[in-house]
Amino acid sequence: MLSKRQKLFNIILLILAGEANFILPFVLARIFRPTVLDLFELSNLQLGACFSIYGIVAFISYLLGGSLADKFQPRYLMAFSLFLTALGGMYMSTYPSYMGLSLLYGYWGFTTIFLFWAAMIKATRIWGGQHRQGIAFGLLDGGRGLISFAFGWLGILIFSILLVNKIEDSSLLERKEAYRYIVLICSIIIALIGVLLIMVLKDHPHQQTSPRILSTRQVFNNYLNVIKLPSVWLLMIIILCAYTGYKITDIYSQYANEVMGYNETDAAAIGSNLLGIRIIIGIIIGLLADKTRSSLMMIISFTITIIGAFIFVSGLIQPDTTLLFGFTIITVATGVYAFRTLYFAAIQEGKIPMAVTGTAVGLISLVGYTPDIFMGPAMGILLDNSPGSLGFQKVFLMLAIFAIVGLIAAYFFHRINTRELPQEL
């Protein structure tokens, strides 16, 4: 058994690694979206296409990388992944062309998923044990929100230090230099977290004794057995619909800039502050999921998301309705961020055996994270073809539709797992 102190170190390192690996491809682009579009000379569609390329590579990586987590120690898989991701940040700091940036996002689709994703989820599930899945994944995602929040404000701080004039009065060259420092500093921090994983993270006894996948035939049989579970299919649909909502958080800062009239720094602060909400939501939802059921919390979260999405769709939010904008964006964020805790806490409720957690995570993620492929281009087309608030209303209508489908799937997941006896492979 691991000591309480070591268990604390383990979850802290999982939190640090869990978000650090996605800072470069997603978090910076989410917080500084107007700045990224300007500095890299991209349209919304082009940035969306980069995300799509990431998603296509990640799609394959989920499938092929899932079984690795059932075979190798997570700390080595995750650490190597962080080193490779940080190398990509060094390249990004050179301001590559659109083609180079597209290739970089494809590279990140491999480095952040193939070695990393299933290993992190399995390590967190083992940390939570039988009865603390909600708080385990709540701490993981709430903590990841804290890390994103910290990285976001670090970037804003670097901007404010390096830009002598206000951001709207700074030259393109000055802003490029400031953003380059943000990318380089983040890359160095990511690599250092990889070093900490190797040196400090200790393997749980369950990780050391879990069955090893010794042949391609056994890997294939695991996939066949996992795919027979109804919970796996429903979680695919639930995560797909919920993750669609999470992808829409990419445009919050752009909405603040283009519709509400905030400057780039204030818009970035909106994006960063919303990540702070994720901290609180993750822990609260995790505790509630352990006291009730993950599926019940998913039903509530989809309902909240639908309400917030339809307020955006209604067109009631205007530049002079600041309070309504704040209330609505927090409402949507609450529903969306709740799912970051519930995605894989529900694996325990779905009665998926521990020995094939990595395989199940890979298979569920294969479908559940396809919004990485289509949401970027879809949002880009809607925003470029319908400038102003109309484009954003169409994006949030898309969110509402997906949330309704997710609500139906969550209901059936709750119903099936309330009445069924545990399944064994």
Residues 290-309, mean pLDDT to the nearest whole number: 90
- Alpha-carbon span 375 to 244, nearest angstrom: 7
What is the overall mean pLDDT for the chain? 84
User: Per-residue pLDDT for 273 more than 70?
Assistant: yes
Nearest one of 10, 51, 7 to 249, comparing CA atoms: 51
* Mean pLDDT along residues 361-369: 83
Residue 354 lies in a domain: yes
Interval 311-334 mean pLDDT: 91
What pLDDT sits at residue 167? 65
pLDDT band at 64 (very low <50, low <70, confident <90, very high): confident
Buried b (16+ CB within 10 A) or exposed e, 188-210: ebbbebbebbeeebeebeebeeb
Sign of the C-alpha dihedral computed for residues 384, 388, 391 and 392 taken in this order: positive
Lowest mean pLDDT among 92-101, 124-133, 156-165, 181-190: 124-133
Domain tally, the chain: 1
pLDDT surpasses 50 at 340: yes
> Model's pTM, two decimal places?
0.73
The enclosing domain of 237 has a CATH number of 1.20.1250.20
Q: Residue 210 pLDDT more than 60?
A: no
Task: Give the Cα separation of 329 and 308 in Å (integer).
Answer: 7
Domain annotation covers residue 424 = no
Within a domain: residue 239? yes
Determine, yes or no, domain membership for 425: no
Structure confidence at residue 265 (pLDDT):
77
More confident residue, 63 or 117: 117
Question: Does any domain span residue 209?
Answer: no
Q: Is the pLDDT of residue 165 over 60?
A: yes
Diameter over CA atoms, the chain? 65
The answer to whether residue 96 is domain-embedded is yes
Per-residue pLDDT, 299: 94
pLDDT value at 243 more than 70: yes
Q: Is residue 423 part of a domain?
A: no
Mean of pLDDT values over 345-372: 79
User: C-alpha 422: how far from its chain's center?
Assistant: 29
Residue 299 lies in a domain: yes
pLDDT score recorded for residue 390: 92
Q: How confident is the model at residue 67 (pLDDT cuts 50, 70, 90)?
A: low
CB of 251 within 8 A of CB of 48? no
The closest alpha carbon to 401, from 336, 337, 310, belongs to 310
| Helix (H) or strand (E) segment spanning residue 179 | helix 172-200
Alpha helices of 66-163 — where are they, by DSSP H? 74-92, 98-111, 117-128, 133-162
Is 159:170 a contact under the CB 8 Å cutoff?
no
* Both structure tokens of 309: 């999405």
Given a cut of 80, is residue 169 above it in pLDDT?
Answer: no
Residue ranges making up the domain that contains 111? 4-203+215-418
Would you state the pLDDT for residue 189? 95
Task: From residue 89, give the alpha-carbon distance in Å to each of 8, 22, 58, 261.
Answer: 29, 11, 18, 31
Q: What is the Cα–Cα distance from 124 to 361, expressed in whole angstroms?
A: 12
Other Cβ atoms less than 10 A from the Cβ of 15: the count is 22
